[in-house]
Structure 1
Amino acid sequence: MQPNPLRIGTRGSALALAQAHETRDRLMAAHGLADEAFEIVVIKTSGDRIQDRPLSEVGGKGLFTKEIEEALLDKRIDIAVHSSKDMPTHLPDGLALTAFLPREDVRDAFLSPKATSLNDLPEGAVIGSSSLRRQAMIKRIRPDIDVVMYRGNLQTRLRKLAEGEVDATLLAAAGLNRLGLEQEITSLLDTNDFLPAVGQGAICIESRENDAATLSMLAAIHDPDTQIRLDAERAFLAVLDGSCRTPIGGLATLDGGRLHFKGIVLKPDGSEAHEAEETGAVEDAVKIGVSVGEALKERMGPSFLAET
């Protein structure tokens, strides 16, 4: 089916490689191919190189995709495997998100050797997190807690926690599950209280829009339900011009032919938050995401995002 190996572009972290291997394994099973039919190409991104500053200060989430997308456009790779939450809302011309794998657990995981939950941490405890959304939501629930920047891949963050650099951290449950590290989770945060990042738990595959052969291969592993949910979430994010500089959370869920979406925008210090939600037909996923985004924009007023 594929005269040359299908080249799968990915970042080089253990989690990124696990996601690339999952994509390869699903394609192997769907098409009856051996692993020789695929080549995993590791690409170092700006986000991987910059470890000493918050991403919000140096360009936001596009730092994890720019070099990989350049390789796609230059035809050095055939597909790119990403964490959906890393994807900017606007993609380069000629590229598209053309497949989504079945979504993993969307929740944030609380990890700590000192407490069983966020609420059980002692006053003045230190939590490490590089996510503005998590920082703001932690502050909203526990304004007494000190939140410090916490960059590095998942294994680095676990090591820092074990060495006592912080009292606790929050990580995506999906990443821990994909690496077989679910035993590290102390507890899981309820999405009713702690909305995840847009796209959290979902692996997306980016490819060239005009690459018919590759699109045909990907169709066999595409999960339509995940795409419907992500369509709503990404439409919501696009309305708010969301980036790593804005604490935003959003989650779409499906129940039969109905889609429910809830979104939140916060001040970075958690002192103010606005939430909105809407339910409608799955066919209206994008419309629902846009509607919730516009409702939040109206409630916040023109100065809210500028102040963040």
Structure 2
Amino acid sequence: MNTPATPSPAPVVIATRESRLALWQAEHVKALLAARGHTVTLLGMTTQGDQILDRSLSKVGGKGLFVKELEVALEEGRAHIAVHSLKDVPMELPEGFALACVMEREDPRDAFVSPRYASLAALPQGAVVGTSSLRRQVLLQALRPDLKIEPLRGNLDTRLRKLDEGQYDAIVLAAAGLKRLGLGERIRAVFAPDEMLPAAGQGALGIEVRSDRQDLIAALAPLAHQPTWLTVAAERAVSRAMGGSCSMPLAAHGQWHGDTLHLDAAWGDPEGRSALVRAQAQAPVATLAQAEALGDAVAAQLRAGGAQGL
């Protein structure tokens, strides 16, 4: 008697931006799913965030501009999942969408990149540092008020090219992106979290699906890394409680000490009118609800210290 063949998993189409880093992220997930028997293809897309390069993200709608077109592809059934850098994902997903999986985190720290200078401390007074992030801007201003912080947009390769052309003395980028693309040698120094507190979700990949696709949620479950998921849930809860914008001058970073999650956050005024506000708390965390409660508590501390949400 012939044993019936196990049906092959349904094909999976991944919606992705077409930057080199986004494609690396999508290919990484594709390889992991393919190893589990799935047939996987990529649907490359250009998002509004990729097209608007002459204005800062905080002025044109925030980092959600990088995910909207991908969500439309999921909604229309042209793709089934979208792989995001969690740092770019709005705190509240649209109705009908869910974060199905958070994968193990790469290095969450910020990297100092410069062809001429070995560290932030080595920069001369008045040096020009490029960053696209209000968070990095306020943290850099707190560390070195004498520097000139200039906007820097574009994908990773574009930012490095602008640096190499001499438009900046140094730039600050996420260490994770450089490492994923094999560009770790460009990192001159990595900032300790207590110097430059990372953004919520920095270095972690999240996979978004339509919330009614329980089959996909089950298929993605083996790719999830629970300690990372709990950490970024706490970090993102700080941002959500402060108004939910990825473009806010806000940092939130969690670290495990045994079963206890230590969560630090910082908020700064981009105009430099007030000092950096810092907050921290810790608690045993085993569920997403506990992680989010810890994030809410840290956000309340920030507000009590004078931080302004949206």
TM-score (norm 2): 0.93
Q: CA–CA distance in 2 between the matches of 1:254 and 1:108?
A: 19
1:159 paired residue number: 161
Is 2:285 the counterpart of 1:282?
A: yes
Residue 100 of structure 1: CA displacement?
1.1
- Alpha-carbon distance in structure 1 between the residues aligned to 2:231 and 2:14: 24
Aligned residues: 300
Alpha-carbon spacing, 1:125–1:182, altered in 2? closer, same or farther (3 Å): same
Is the Cα–Cα contact under 8 Å of residues 140 and 269 in structure 1 kept in the other structure? no
SS of the aligned residue for 1:293 comes to helix
2 CA distance for matches of 1:305 and 1:238? 9
Given candidates 202, 205, 212, the residue that maps to 2:204 is 202
* Alignment deviations for residues 195-231 of structure 1 (CA, whole Å, 9 cap, x no partner): 0111000000000111121111101111111110011
Give the partner amino acid of 2:26.
A
Answer whether contact 1:139 1:269 (CA < 8 A) is retained: no
| Contact residue 91 and residue 246 of structure 2 kept, 8 A | no
Structure 1 equivalent of residue 276 of structure 2: 273
Shift of 1:86: 0.3
Deviates more, 1:243-252 or 1:92-101: 243-252
One-letter amino acid matched to 2:19:
S
Give % identity. 44
Matches of 2:214 and 2:309 in 1, distance apart?
40
- Aligned partner of 2:71 in structure 1 is 69
The structural deviation recorded for 1:296 is 0.8
**Alignment map for 1:289-300 (pairs within 5 Å):** 289-300=295-306
Cα shift at 1:3? 5.6
CA-CA distance at 1:2 after TM superposition: 4.9
Q: CA deviation at 1:282?
A: 1.1
Equivalent of 2:106, from 104, 116, 119? 104
- Aligned equivalent of 2:84: 82
Q: Helix, strand or coil: the match of 2:152?
A: coil
Equivalent pair of 2:88/2:246 in contact (CA under 8 Å):
no
Name the structure 2 match of 1:17.
23
SS at match of 1:119: coil
CA distance in 1, matches of 2:246, 2:216: 31
| Distance (Å, rounded) in 1 between the aligned partners of 2:229 and 2:73 | 24
Q: By how many angstroms is 1:7 displaced?
A: 0.4
Summarize deviations over 1:171-210 as a string: whole Å, max 9, x none. Answer: 0000000000000100000101110111000000000111
Q: Which amino acid is 2:28 matched to?
A: E
Structure number with the higher helix fraction is: 1
Look up the SS of the partner of 1:218 in the other structure.
helix
1:88-167 matches, within 5 Å, as: 88-167=90-169
Q: Distance in 1 between matches of 2:24 and 2:148?
A: 32
Aligned residues: CA RMSD: 1.4
Residues 123-155 of structure 1, C-alpha deviations (whole Å, 9 max, x = no match): 010011111111111111111111111111100
Give the TM-score normalised by structure 1.
0.94
**Which 5+ residue runs of structure 1 have no aligned equivalent?**
none
Q: What is residue 186 of structure 2 aligned with on the other side?
A: 184
Seen in structure 2, the aligned counterparts of structure 1 residues 244 and 225 have a Cα distance that, compared at 3 Å, is closer
